[in-house]
Amino acid sequence: MKGIRERLLEAFQIEYREHLETIRALLDDLSRRTDGSGIAQLDETFRRAHSLKGAARAVDLPPVEQIAHRLETLFARIRGGDIRLDGAMAAMIGRVLDSIEDWVAANSADSPLPDTAAIMAELENVLEGGAASATAPCSPSPPPPCSPAPSPPPLPAPAPLPPEEDTSSPAPQDEPERPLPARAEETVRVRALHLDRLLRSSNELVTETMIQRGLTRQLVGIDRSLSEFDKQWRRVRKVASATIRETADHERAGLIDRQFEALEQSLRTLTREARDGRRLQQRTGWALRQLGEELQQEVRQVRMVPAESIFGGFRKMVRDLARDAGKKVEVQVAGLDVEADRMVLQGLKDPVMHLLRNALSHGVEPPAERVASGKPSHATVFLRFDVSDGRLVVLVEDDGRGVDYDAIRRKAVERGALTEAEAAGLERDALLDLIFDPGFSTARVVDDLAGRGMGLSVVREAAAMMNGTVEVRRREPTGTCFRLSVPLSVSTQRLFLVECQGHVYALPTEGLDRLYRVKADDVCMVEGRSVVYLGGQQLPLLSLAHLLALGESAVKVTRNVVPLVVLKNGDRRVAVAVDSFLSIREGMVKDIGVPGSRGTMVAGGMLMEDGGIALVLNPFEIVETFRKSGSIRVLTTVEKPAERRVPVILVVDDSLTTRTLEKSILEAHGYQVRLAFDGLEALGRLRAEHIDLVISDIQMPRLDGFGLLQAIRADQALKSIPLILVSSLEAREDRERGLSLGADAYVVKRKFDQKELLETIGQFL
C-alpha cells in the first residue's frame, strides 16, 4: 500500500505539469495579442506560479518551491508594469519552466539532481533590474563554447498497471491452505482518467434519455392528432356518404363508400401502429433512463474517495510553514475519513492551502505575543472535514488574534477603495467582503506566507466555480474560522427548476430554504424597497428577472399570486419572485464558458429534454448580490394569460395512507387527482370521466393492478391512457410481467420518492 508521500508525489506530477503548460499557453497568447491589456492572462500566470509554489512545499521540494516563488514575484512585477514582457523575457521564463521540469524528472527517476543555481541567478538578475537574455547564459565550463540549453529529457512513463490485483492475503508457506468462511471482495485499480471518461459517458447517456422524453411527448402528440383526425374523418365520411346517396347514383355511391372504407382502414392501421410505437418508445425510454441513472450512481460511488487521499500531508506542511516563520503551532486535523468526489477534493486543494497559510500569516501570533496576551505559546490550527445537508464542509480555524477590522479599513483607504469616512462607517460584514478582493492584503511585508493578496480571492473564485460558498466567522473565545461549503459531487446535483420571462433556470436545492405562494397584496414597501413577511421575519424581495437584468422585470402572476423562492446563505435569507415553479430533478451542471469569478450568479448549464440549456444559478452568490445591492428594489406584477387544461390523474390504491400521500404530492405540483380503492372502482371512474394518466398499486381486493391493466388495454376507449404501476413487489418477474402486460412504467415502493414519481409522470404528460 502506498504511503501518503507517494500519493502526494503522484498528485504533484499531474498538478505541476498542468501549471507549467498553462503558463506556457498564456505566455504564447500574450505574445500573439495585438489588442487589450492582457491583465487577465497575467493574473492567471501569477496564480499558477503561486499554486505551484504551494504544491511544491506540500511535497517538500524546496528547489521547485524557491524557483516558483521568484517566478511569482516576476509575474507580479510584470503585472504591475515594473518589468516589460518582451521576447527575451518570455524566452527566459521558458528556460525557468524547463529547469523545473528537468529537476522534477530527475527527482522522480532518482537521477542526479541538476543544479538550479544558474537559473536562480538569472531570475535574481532580472528582478534586480537586469536585462533578460534570449538564450541561456554561457556555462562556466571550458570549451566547447556555450550553446542553447538542451531540451529537457522526457518524464518517465508511469509503470503499467496490472490487469487485476488480488488483495487477499496469501496463505503461510508452512501451513496448508484452508477455505475461507467468506470470499473477500475483489478490488482492481482503475486510472482516474478512465473514471472521468466513464462518468462523462454515463452523464451523456442520462442526458440522451432525457431527450427521449421530449420524443415521447412528440409521439403522444402525434397519437392524439391521429385520434382526433379519425373522429373528424368519421364525421366527414358520414356527411359525404349521405350527400352522394341523395344523387341517386347508387353505383357511384357504392364505389366511393368502398374507397372510404379502404381509406378508413389504412387510417386505423396507421393509428394503431403509431400508438404501439409510442407505447414501446415510452417503456423503452423509461427503462433506459432507469439503467442510465443506476450506472451514473455506481460511477459516482466509485469516484468517492476519503479526504485523506488529498489532504493527508497537510498537517506536516503547516508545521513546516510555521517553523520557517518562527511560530509554534499544533495542527489538528479531523474528518479525513469523510468521502467526496475526487475532483471536488482536488478543486479544494489550493483553496484550503491558501486558508491555512492565511491562518499562519494573519491569525497566529509569535510565541512572545501570545504569552504576553495570556495565551499558550503554542497556537492551534484546525482543519476539519464534514458533511452537512448533503454538502462537503471544510473548516479552517485558528486560535490567533482574529480579524483585524482596523487593518482592513486602513488598507481599503490606502488602495483608494473607500474614503476614511466610508471605511469608518462600514459594517463588519461588508469589511470582510473586501478581504476576498484580488490584490487585497493587510500584510506589510511580502514573504513566503503572505503579502500578495491573491490567496483569499483564489478561495472565493474556486468556491464559486463549484457552486459553493466561503464564509468568515468569529471563533470563540479567540481566533477566526473560515467555512467552505461545496457539493459532494461534480457529476449531478439536485436542482429545482423555475420559469422566468419564458426561460427555465435551475437552482441547487442546497441553497433553497422554502417555497411560498403569496398574494401580491402581501408585498410591503419599506424605505422604497419591496419586502415580504414570512414566518414572522421580514425578507427583502426582488424578481429574478431584475437580478438577472432581463429587461422586463415584472413577475407574471396567476390570480394575483406570486411564487417566491427563499434562498439562504448561512444565516442570511432573501425572497426571489419567479413566474412559476416547474419541477425538481437530478442534473449534471456543465461549464458553459461563464467565468467563475466573484460576483457571478451563473454556475453553469444543464441540458434540457428539448435540447435547450437551462442556466444553473448559484443561490449563495444571489444572496450576496442581493445584500450588497444599493438600488431601489420595487416588485411589480402582471397577470398571466389563461393557462392550459390541468391534467387529471387517477390514483388507485387500497391503502388510505398511500392514496393521501400521492394525492398531496400530485396536487402540490398542479395536477388534478381522482381516487379509487381498487381496480373495479378505477374502471368505473375511467369510463365516467376524462383521465389523462393512471397510477395503480398491484395488490388490491376485487381487481388487482395486473387485472386493471389488462382491462384497460383491452378497452378500445381506454387503451391509450398511460398507466404507471407503483408496488412493493420488487422481484424481476413482477416487473417484467407488468411491463409485458402494457404498463408504461414500474416504480418500486421501497425506492419510491417524490422526485421519481414526478419525473416518471413527466414522461407521459
121: left (phi over 0), alpha (psi -120 to 50) or beta: alpha
What is the rounded distance in angstroms from the CA atom of residue 671 to the CA atom of residue 754? 14
pLDDT value of position 491: 65
What is the rounded distance in angstroms from the CA atom of residue 17 to the CA atom of residue 29? 18
All structural domains of the chain with their residue ranges: 4-127, 194-303, 307-486, 493-639, 648-762
Segments of 611-707 assigned E as strands: 613-617, 637-639, 648-652, 672-676, 693-696
Options 3.40.50.11740, 3.40.50.10860, 3.40.50.720, 3.30.565.10; CATH for 307-486 is 3.30.565.10
- Please state the separation of Cα 484 from the chain's center in Å: 15
pTM of the full predicted structure? 0.55
Q: Using alpha carbons, select from 72, 69, 116 the residue that is nearest to residue 95.
A: 116
Grid cell listed for 269? 392501421
Burial class (CB in 10 A: 0-12, 13-18, 19+), 692: middle
Q: Using alpha carbons, select from 57, 44, 43 the residue that is nearest to residue 18.
A: 44
Grid cell listed for 233? 374523418
pLDDT value of position 148: 38
pLDDT value of position 629: 65
What is the rounded distance in angstroms from the CA atom of residue 452 to the CA atom of residue 437? 11
Q: What is the CATH number of domain 648-762?
A: 3.40.50.2300
Which architecture characterizes domain 493-639 according to CATH? Answer: Beta Barrel (2.40)
What is the rounded distance in angstroms from the CA atom of residue 738 to the CA atom of residue 745? 8
What is the rounded distance in angstroms from the CA atom of residue 489 to the CA atom of residue 176? 46
Q: Using alpha carbons, select from 31, 47, 92 the residue that is nearest to residue 465.
A: 47
The topology (CATH level 3) of 4-127 is: Four Helix Bundle (Hemerythrin (Met), subunit A) (1.20.120)
What is the rounded distance in angstroms from the CA atom of residue 427 to the CA atom of residue 441? 19
Kindly give the parts of the chain with pLDDT less than 70. 1-5, 7, 35-37, 134-189, 192, 210, 247-248, 439, 441-455, 491, 551, 591-600, 609-611, 628-633, 640-644, 750-753
What is the rounded distance in angstroms from the CA atom of residue 759 to the CA atom of residue 6? 46
Q: Compute the C-alpha angle 167/489/516, nearest 5°.
A: 145
SS3 679: helix
Cα–Cα distances (Å) from 503 to 340, 550, 613, in that order, read 33, 10, 9
Residue with cell 349521405: 242
Cα–Cα distances (Å) from 554 to 294, 381, 547, 701, in that order, read 42, 50, 12, 53
What is the rounded distance in angstroms from the CA atom of residue 154 to the CA atom of residue 152? 6
Residue 522 per-residue DSSP state: G
SS3 441: coil
At 598, which amino acid appears? R
**693-696, strands of its sheet edge to edge:** 672-676, 648-652, 693-696, 723-727, 745-748
Please, are residues 172 and 121 in contact by the beta-carbon 8 Å criterion?
A: no
Q: 3-state DSSP: the chain helix, strand, coil percent, rounded to 5?
A: 45, 20, 35
